[in-house]
Chain A
Amino acid sequence: MSEKIVEVAQDGSFIVMDETPAKPLKARRSELKKKSIAAWIIFIVLLLVVVGWLFPFYMALINSFKTEAEFMEGGPLALPHGINISNIIKFWNDVNFPLKLWNSVLVSVVSSAIGVALSALTAFALGIGRIRGRFWLLAVFMVAFTIPQEALIYPFYKIAKQVGLYDSLLSVILVIGIMNIAFGTYMLSSVLEEFPTELLEAAKIDGATTWRIFTSVVFPILRPTLFVLATFFFIYSWNEFLLPLVLLPSNDNQTVTLGLAITTGQWTTDPTARAAAALLGSLPSIIFFFIFQRTLMRGVTMGSSK
C-alpha cells in the first residue's frame, strides 16, 4: 500500500502528493475491516436472506426423497426418513428425462455455436472493419433484439410448417441461433472496438488478407470472450420456452424446460412427483452454474459496466 496520494486531474495528468497521515494508512484500513457487532448482525441477516432465497430449492430437494405416504403423514416441512429415490426414478422414466435432456443439450450447443460464429464475423466487420453506417447497423440489431417474440412467433410457426421443419429440433436451433446474432454482435463489437490497432497494422504491413487477420490475429485474442458468449447463449437457449412450445409439439422433441412445464401439471397430482420435477428441472442449470460461475458472472457484467 503506497502512502502517496495520486490525484488524477480531469485532463488525465496526475499529481503525486506526499502525505504524512496521523496513522499509517494500513492501520486505518484494517480498522475499517474490524468485525464489529453491527457487521455480525448484518452478516447474520444477509445469511438468513440467502437461506430464505434458497429455501424453495431445499424444499424441492427434501420432498423428492419422500414417498407419497410419508408426505401425507409428515407434510412438506418434515425431513424425509431416508433417501428414497423411487420418485425421482419414476419421474425420470415417465417423462423420458434422458431424451429431454439430450434434446436440450443438442438445441443449446448447436444454436450457441451458430450464434457465436455468426456474431464473431458480423462483429469483426463492425468493430475492426469499421464499416460505414455501423452505428445504424448496431441500432437495428439492438431494436430488433427488443421486439417481443410474440410479434414473430406466428410467422415462425407458419414458415416452419411451409419448409417442413415444424416439429423438428432444427427449426428451434436455427431460429435461436440466428436470433442470438443481435446480442452477440453488439457485445463483441464493443470488445473489438478496443482491439490493439498496432497488431492490425502490423498484420496489414505483412500483407495479411482480411480473412487472415480474422483467423490469425483477431480470433485467437477474442477466443476467451467468445467462450463467455457461448456459455451465455447456452443458458439462453436452455431456458427458451416460447419457441419450443410453439414449434415442437410432439413429446419426443421436447426440451427439459418445455417438457416439464407442460406435462407436470397434467399427469400428476402427487406432490412428491412435482417436487421431483422441480428438482430434476433445476439440477442441470445449477450444475452448469457451478462449473461456469466465473465465466457467467463476467458475461452478465460485460456489457453493463464501464
Chain B
Amino acid sequence: MSATATRAARSPRTKAPALSPAQRKDQRSYLWFLLPGFILFAGLVGTAFIWNVVLSFTRYKGVGKAQFIGFDNYVRLFQDPVFWESFLHAIMFIGAMSILPTFLGLFIGAMIFDYIAPRFGNGASAFMRGGLYMPQIVPLTITGIMWVWLLDPSTGVINTFLKGINPDWQPNWLGDANLAFWSVSVIMVWVQIGYTIVILMSGMARLDPSLSEAAQIDGASWFQRFRIITVAQLGPEIGVVLLTTTVAALKVFAPIYVMTGGGPGTATQVPAYFSYAEFFNNHRVGYGAAIATVLAIILTIMAIIILYVQTRQSEGRNKR
C-alpha cells in the first residue's frame, strides 16, 4: 500500500537540473492537474487537523464558547490512568493484529504456496486463500455483531458447544473484564490473517522457485527452506505487512465500538474509542481532541518511519 509512495517519489530527491522556459511552461500546465485534488485534500484534512489541535487547548462542551486553557488537557491526560491503559491496549493489539497474523500468515501462506498450489492445483489454493480472506472483506462492524452473537454467554454457539464438554464451563467472553481483551484479540487474529496471507503470497510468487527447488533436491526440509529461503527473501513484504497492520492496530475503533464499548470497565479501552466517547458521549471535546492529537502524533511518527524505511529500500534496489 505505502511502498508505492516512495517508489513514485524516489528519484526527485536527487537535485533537479534547472528548467528551461519551455519545461517551466510544461510544468505549469501539469500544475492544473495537481491543484483540484491537492487543494481539496489539504484543505479538508489540514483544516480539520489544525482545528482539532486548537480544540485540544480548550475546555469545550460542544455548545457555547470554548475556553482556552493552554496545556491543561495534556497535563491531565498524562496523569489519567485510563489514557495510559488505553495506549497499553493499543500496543497489545499490535500483537493480535500485526505480529501474530504476520507470523501465521507467513507460515500458512507458505504451506499453501508450496504444497497446495503445485500438488492440488490453483483452484484449491485460491479457495483456501479466499476463505481465509473472507473476514477481511466483510465490514468489521458486521463481523463484530456476528462475534457478539457467537460469544453470547447463554445462547451463543461457543458456550453451547462448551456446555457439551463441561456444563460448568460457561465464560462470559466479552463481559468478563479478565477475558474481554483476549476474546477481542483472538477475533482480530481471525480478521487480520487474510490480509497478511494475500500480501505475503504475492511476495512468494515474486521469488525465483529454482532456489527452493535446488535446496529441496539437496535434501533441505520444508521448514529449512521456509526459514532460510522464503522468509529471508520476503523482507520487503514482511516489512510492509508489519508496519501497515501496526498502524491499523493503533487505530482500532469499530470492533471495540460494536463488541465491548471499551469495557467492561476499561478492560478493552483504546485511544480511538476513548477520544470518540469523550467527544460525543461525555461532551468533553477538548479532552477528546487532546487524546486524538496524541494518537495522531504517534501515527505520524510511524508514517515517517515507514517512508524512511521504504525510501532506503528502494534506493538500495536502485543502486543494485
Interface residues of A (CB under 8 A from B): 10, 28-29, 32-35, 39, 42-43, 46-47, 49-51, 53-54, 56-57, 59-60, 71, 75-77, 118-119, 121-122, 124-135, 137-156, 158-159, 175, 178-179, 181-183, 185-187, 189-193, 209-210, 214, 235, 238-239, 241-242, 245-246, 256-258, 260-261, 264-265, 271, 274-275, 277-278, 281-282, 285-286, 288-289, 293, 296-297, 300-306
Contact = CB atoms under 8 A, between A and B. Distances in A.
Nearest to B163: A75
A150 B120 contact: no
Q: Which 9 A-B pairs have the closest CB atoms?
A: A129-B30, A281-B142, A122-B37, A190-B4, A125-B34, A301-B202, A189-B8, A261-B141, A155-B51
Given A151-B52, A179-B41, A193-B7, 20 more contacts: A10-B320, A34-B119, A35-B119, A42-B116, A43-B124, A50-B128, A54-B131, A76-B155, A118-B40, A121-B37, A122-B33, A147-B300, A152-B48, A158-B51, A257-B139, A265-B148, A271-B149, A289-B134, A303-B4, A304-B203
B36 A155 contact: no
Interface stretch (B68-76, B177-185, B302-310): B302-310
Among B13, B37, B257, B293, max chain A CB count under 10 A is at: B37
Nearest to A180: B41
Interface string B99-136: 00000000010011001101110001001101111110
B44 A125 contact: no
A29 B55 CA distance: 65
B302 A139 contact: no
Interface residues on B, range: 35 or more
Among B2, B149, B272, B307, max chain A CB count under 10 A is at: B149
29 contacts: A43-B124, A47-B128, A53-B131, A53-B132, A53-B134, A54-B131, A118-B41, A121-B36, A126-B8, A129-B33, A135-B9, A135-B13, A143-B300, A149-B251, A150-B275, A151-B52, A158-B51, A181-B41, A189-B5, A235-B137, A241-B141, A274-B149, A285-B137, A301-B198, A303-B3, A304-B241, A305-B206, A305-B237, A306-B7
A296 B133 CA distance: 11
A35 B135 CA distance: 30
B288 interface: yes
Given A33-B119, A153-B276, A178-B44, A147 B296 contact: yes
A131 B138 contact: no
Among B8, B213, B285, B289, max chain A CB count under 10 A is at: B8
A21 to B, nearest CB: 10
B37 A118 contact: yes
Contact of A187 (B4, B139, B160): B4
A286 B194 CA distance: 14
A138 B134 contact: no
Contacts of B134: 53-54, 57, 286, 289
Nearest to B117: A33
A154 B285 contact: yes
Interface in B136-160: 137-150, 152, 155-157, 160
Nearest to B152: A271
A132 B296 CA distance: 28
A42 B115 contact: yes
Contacts of A54: 131, 134
A146 B141 contact: no
Among A28, A144, A150, A293, max chain B CB count under 10 A is at: A150
B268 to A, nearest CB: 16
Nearest to A52: B190
Nearest to B311: A135
B247 A239 contact: no
B49 interface: yes
A207 B247 CA distance: 46
Contacts of A179: 41, 44-45
Nearest to B127: A50
Contact of A32 (B156, B195, B213, B253): B213
Among A76, A147, A156, A238, max chain B CB count under 10 A is at: A147
Contact of A143 (B32, B271, B303): B303
Among A144, A146, A159, max chain B CB count under 10 A is at: A146
B97 to A, nearest CB: 15
